[in-house]
Amino acid sequence: MLKFLLLEVFVAFLLPSALIAAPYEDEVRMLPGLPQKPSFRQYSGYLAATKSRRLHYWFVESVNNPKKDPVAVWLNGGPGCSSLFGLLGENGPFRVREDGVTLETNPFSWNNVANVLYIESPAGVGFSYASDKNYVTDDDLTSLENYAAMRDFLRKFPEYQDNELFITGESYGGIYVPMLSVLLMEDPSVNLKGFAVGNGVSNDEMLGSSIIYFAYYHGLIGTTEWNSLLKQCCGGSENRCNFVRTAQYSKACEDEVLKVQAVTDGGSFDRYNLYGPCAYGVGSHQYNHDSMINWAFRSLPGQSKSRDSKWQRPLAEHSCNNNTAVTTYLNLPEVRLALHIPAQVQKWLNCVSDGEYQEGWYTKIYNDTTPFYKKLFSGGIRGILYNGDVDMACNFLGDEWFADSLGRPVTEERRMWHYRDEKGLKQVAGFVKTFDILTYLTVRGSGHMVPTDRPRPALHVITNLVKNTPF
């Protein structure tokens, strides 16, 4: 199977590409809703992933020195969520206003320090498509197709071949980013220097167990419930109890864990930001992706059928987060035209739910990304793991456990890190722990989407990554 996939990618490389004409044809000369033309160039078009699959990209050049500044790739997660939300709702140069028609500039855009490439992956997500309508994929195939798309990008834009390259992403990007980074590291023609993962899926078991601690110490469950969890799952001790693994063998423990899941994922809270309001009120939604507890349960052998639940379906078209403005904007005919989206390509959705194409269209293969990190570190590729500290989808504690588990030498113990606010005053941004080639940090007061919730510290993070400066 792997040989077949590699052949598909190789064939995609051989597809004709207009080395000079393609970027010209892809240039976005007029973007609807902008009050004035931006000072930088931007491009939107398609990259060949296989013979039949095309991944949509949107590339914004740096506002400073595009020829010398690094290239940063951004991948949203899901799996099945579009990186264009990252551009228009998180770290891109524009934000969509509430009217869904006009744009405003984002002073904390990551193209202040880098040329930024947003790729909608895998095929079927956003404006990306498969001409044969076959959207079945998995972690391995997605990484190969992302790699093929990157090679196609560098053929379209050969002037960026030698620029330093950084791969970044969030959430299920915790799978995409290290896997793609390994493939690029092994390509001697690519100048990969580093990567960053925000609130990432790193190790299902650690994230699944740590959310129980998160729930208790954030007041979501009481002392009675906590003591019952400790009794049924931990032998009465709370010293780094593995709730997920114990629940595999104990029905009593499983029952207690699922009670916590009902609180964290039941629709009463925004699991992407514990302290954020639900845009459409409590009980108006469930999540259209599994919780980390479900993923963690299914990663273990011999799990019960009760753990092997179907992906939760939305009760209404809206979740706690209101993405209506971005969705409205990207589906405007004049916007699709400006972005060079063919008429036959599907309507843009922020996230594709399981069943949009067919049941089980995406297969999750990897429950632990440790092997990819170890390969990257052995190749001298530096990384940053950052977490908003009020996210329940991929919580900070589980990712900190993961960072510690990689076994890298600690060069500086956990301490506060800072940024300057709009008045120039020094403020606490969060906490940082530094290893020899890895940095782990939290972003205070942020949920799952750090560039949305805390844009100024988020820009600080990407700046330190590309400039290789300490926090």
Q: In this model, does residue 313 exceed pLDDT 60?
A: no
Helix (H) or strand (E) holding 396: helix 396-405
Judge if 1-203+324-466 and 204-298 fold alike in CATH terms.
yes
CA distances from 223 to 226, 263, 429 (A): 5, 15, 30
Domain locations in the chain as residue ranges = 1-203+324-466, 204-298
Is 448 assigned a catalytic role? Answer: yes
CA distance linking residue 111 with residue 457, whole number of Å: 15
Query: What CATH code would you report for 204-298?
Result: 3.40.50.1820
Q: Is the Cβ–Cβ distance between 96 and 312 less than 8 Å?
A: no
Question: Which residue out of 209, 448, 453, 460 is catalytically annotated?
Answer: 448
171 classed as catalytic: yes
Q: For residue 312, what is the DSSP state?
A: P
Q: Is 453 a catalytic residue?
A: no
CATH of domain 1-203+324-466: 3.40.50.1820
Q: 176 vs 54, 180, 188, 198, 410, CA distance in Å?
A: 17, 6, 20, 12, 26
pLDDT surpasses 70 at 276 = yes
pLDDT at residue 156, rounded to an integer: 96
Confidence of residue 266 (pLDDT cuts 50, 70, 90): low
pLDDT (tens digit per residue) in 408-425: 999 999 999 999 999 999
Q: Residue 240 has what pLDDT?
A: 77
Q: Which two tokens stand for residue 150?
A: 């990157």
User: What integer best gives the mean pLDDT of the chain?
Assistant: 88
Of 264-273, 342-351, 430-439, the least confident? 264-273
From CA 463, how far away is CA 247, in angstroms rounded? 42
Confidence of residue 290 (pLDDT cuts 50, 70, 90): low
Q: Quick one: CA torsion of 446, 451, 455, 457, rounded to 10 degrees? A: 70
Range with lowest mean pLDDT among 92-106, 151-165, 286-300: 286-300
Tens digit of pLDDT for each residue in 188-245? 999 999 999 999 999 999 999 999 999 999 999 999 999 999 999 998 777 778 888 8
Task: Tell me the β-bridge partners of 382.
Answer: 194
Report the 10 Å Cβ neighbour count for 11.
Answer: 13
Show the CA angle centred on residue 332, arms to residues 91 and 132, nearest 5°: 90
Q: Which of 239, 259, 241, 249 is nearest to 297 (CA)?
A: 249
The one catalytic residue among 82, 109, 128, 171: 171
Calpha distance 200→169 (Å, rounded): 8
Rounded mean pLDDT, 7-24: 49
Q: Bridge-partner residues for 59, per DSSP?
A: 43, 117
Whole-structure pTM value:
0.91
For residue 209, what are the contacts with CB-CB under 8 A and spacing of at least 6?
Answer: 241, 242, 243, 244, 245, 296, 398
Active-site option among 391, 399, 453, 460: 391
For the residues of 221-259, what is the DSSP string, one character each? S-HHHHHHHHHHHHTT--TT--HHHHHHH-HHHHHHHHH
Instruction: Please report which helix (H) or strand (E) contains residue 378, including its range.
Output: helix 370-378
Return phi, psi of residue 302, to 5°: 75, 25
